[in-house]
């Protein structure tokens, strides 16, 4: 195999324990976010590795992701964060999946689907306190909740909100927390009890203990990255992305490399072809920007990244030979390349770099160590 990703499940267990150490003393449990194939780490493998680690539930984006977990034997509750369409209500009920709702239309569809099979559909109410994506506006939340309560075969298991700027804007985040607290206080006044109140994803877990409530929803932190530089929590990246050198050539000065001739050598150069390209999710915008690690040393990507191959300058690594392992993300010797490093080079975030690694890239897993209770 020439190109692959290695997933260190122990790192995910470590990150989970770091998060638990922050939130459990405050009475909160963890919903582990495994949407988008666990940010490229493999939803089934990640879910299996952590299911018995005092996780309260799993979070996914779509019905298909939730069903995949159920079919793999995941028993814990699974919350779908995104909206569904009414025709998906039956699958949600059939697989005992918990659905986010923001209005009555999906609530009615779930109610009908549940009634048909004499079950109850479980829902979490999503409140928009300022994210502006999905959710019932905070000042209309109570009205919606009262309607949902009066809908047969639908049970409200949770209520939540999502922050837009918990990594960058303290005032705005506190304003969102205040709005959510306002909704919770109205519920209390009306003696409406909703079991699970939650709001924090990774940024807020690190920065806002007041946002923990009953449950937190870490995604990126589980996989070892923080949305910002912090020493409050020690995270360990889980994923390494690797390929191999498949060809080496010496070229003279003035020699053009790859499509569009975006790189012209300034001197005699030893160029290695490596077996990765944008078809694997190695972003083409990294052309002439990224570095890789070979034999513990850094080498620059030169020329335009192709679909399945790209080139790097190994002039300063004379010991490099065909077959050598090439680290795109990960550690070798004392060099480290993180998803953050790649992200910052092309104006994106670690999330997109990790999710971008194509599903056709084989994931290799270590066997996780057992929890030392």
Ligand X SMILES: *Cc1c(COP(=O)(O)O)cnc(C)c1O
Q: Note the residues at the interface with ligand X (CB under 6 A).
A: 33, 35, 81, 162, 201-203, 217-221
Query: Minimum Å distance from CB 162 to ligand X?
Result: 5
Please, which residue, 77 or 219, has the CB nearer to ligand X?
219
Q: What is the CA radius of gyration of the chain?
A: 24
Token pair 């877990």: residue: 205
Query: Minimum Å distance from CB 91 to ligand X?
Result: 20
Please, which residue, 109 or 127, has the CB nearer to ligand X?
127
- CA nearest to 311, candidates 336, 291, 281: 291
Query: Minimum Å distance from CB 209 to ligand X?
Result: 16
Burial readout 125-163 (b: 16 or more C-beta within 10 A, e: otherwise): bbbbbbeeeebbebeebbebbeebeebebbebbbbbbbb
Please, which residue, 56 or 162, has the CB nearer to ligand X?
162
Contacts of 192 (CB under 8 A, 6+ apart): 145, 146, 149
CA dist 214 and 19 (Å) reads 14
> How far, CA to CA in Å, does 292 sit from each of 102, 262, 311, 337, 348?
45, 19, 10, 7, 18
- CA nearest to 216, candidates 48, 27, 74: 27
- CA nearest to 183, candidates 137, 221, 228, 227: 137
Query: Minimum Å distance from CB 216 to ligand X?
Result: 9
3-state secondary structure of 75: coil
Residue nearest to ligand X (CB): 219
Contacts of 124 (CB under 8 A, 6+ apart): 79, 98, 99, 100, 101, 156, 157, 158, 159, 160, 196
Please, which residue, 160 or 278, has the CB nearer to ligand X?
160
Distance between terminal CA atoms of the chain? 37
Query: Minimum Å distance from CB 84 to ligand X?
Result: 14
- Give the residue numbers annotated as catalytic, written as ranges: 35, 259
Please, which residue, 201 or 283, has the CB nearer to ligand X?
201
Please, which residue, 220 or 326, has the CB nearer to ligand X?
220
Please, which residue, 156 or 302, has the CB nearer to ligand X?
156
Query: Minimum Å distance from CB 87 to ligand X?
Result: 22
Query: Minimum Å distance from CB 167 to ligand X?
Result: 8
Query: Minimum Å distance from CB 21 to ligand X?
Result: 17
3-state secondary structure of 328: strand
Contact between residue 40 and residue 355 where contact means Cβ atoms under 8 Å apart: yes
CA dist 16 and 22 (Å) reads 10
Please, which residue, 39 or 263, has the CB nearer to ligand X?
39
- CA nearest to 317, candidates 332, 339, 304: 332
3-state secondary structure of 148: helix
């Amino acid at each position: 195999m020439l190109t692959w990703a290695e997933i260190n499940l122990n790192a995910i267990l470590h990150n989970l324990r770091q998060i638990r150490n922050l939130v459990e003393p405050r009475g909160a449990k963890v919903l582990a976010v495994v949407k988008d194939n666990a940010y490229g780490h493999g939803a089934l493998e990640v879910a299996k590795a952590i299911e018995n680690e005092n996780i309260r539930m799993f979070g996914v984006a779509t019905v298909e992701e939730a069903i995949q977990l159920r079919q793999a034997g995941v028993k814990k509750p699974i919350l779908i964060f995104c909206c569904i369409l009414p025709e998906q209500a039956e699958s949600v009920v059939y697989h005992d999946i918990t659905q986010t709702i923001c209005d009555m239309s999906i609530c009615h569809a779930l109610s009908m689907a549940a009634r048909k099979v004499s079950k109850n559909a479980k829902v979490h109410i999503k409140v928009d306190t300022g994210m502006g994506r999905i959710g019932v506006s905070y000042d209309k939340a109570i009205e919606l909740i009262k309607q949902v309560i009066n809908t047969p075969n639908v049970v409200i298991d949770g209520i939540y909100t999502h922050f837009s700027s918990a990594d960058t804007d303290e005032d705005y985040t506190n304003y969102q927390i205040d709005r959510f607290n306002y909704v919770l206080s109205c519920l209390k006044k009306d003696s409406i009890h909703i079991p699970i109140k939650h709001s924090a994803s990774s940024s807020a877990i690190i920065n806002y203990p007041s946002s923990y409530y009953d449950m937190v929803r870490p995604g990126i932190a589980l996989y070892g990255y923080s949305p910002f530089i912090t020493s409050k929590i020690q995270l360990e990246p889980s994923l390494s992305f690797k390929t191999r050198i498949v060809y080496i050539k010496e070229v003279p000065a003035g020699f053009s490399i790859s499509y569009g001739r975006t790189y012209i050598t300034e001197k005699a150069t030893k160029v290695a072809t490596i077996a990765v390209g944008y078809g694997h999710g190695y972003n083409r915008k990294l052309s002439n920007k990224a570095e890789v690690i070979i034999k513990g040393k850094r080498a620059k990507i030169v020329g335009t990244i192709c679909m399945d191959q790209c080139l790097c300058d190994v002039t300063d690594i004379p010991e490099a030979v065909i077959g050598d392992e090439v680290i795109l993300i990960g550690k070798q010797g004392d060099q480290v390349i993180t998803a953050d490093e790649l992200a910052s080079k092309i104006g994106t975030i670690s999330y997109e770099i990790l999710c971008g690694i194509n599903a056709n890239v084989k994931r290799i897993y270590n066997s996780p160590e057992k929890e030392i209770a």
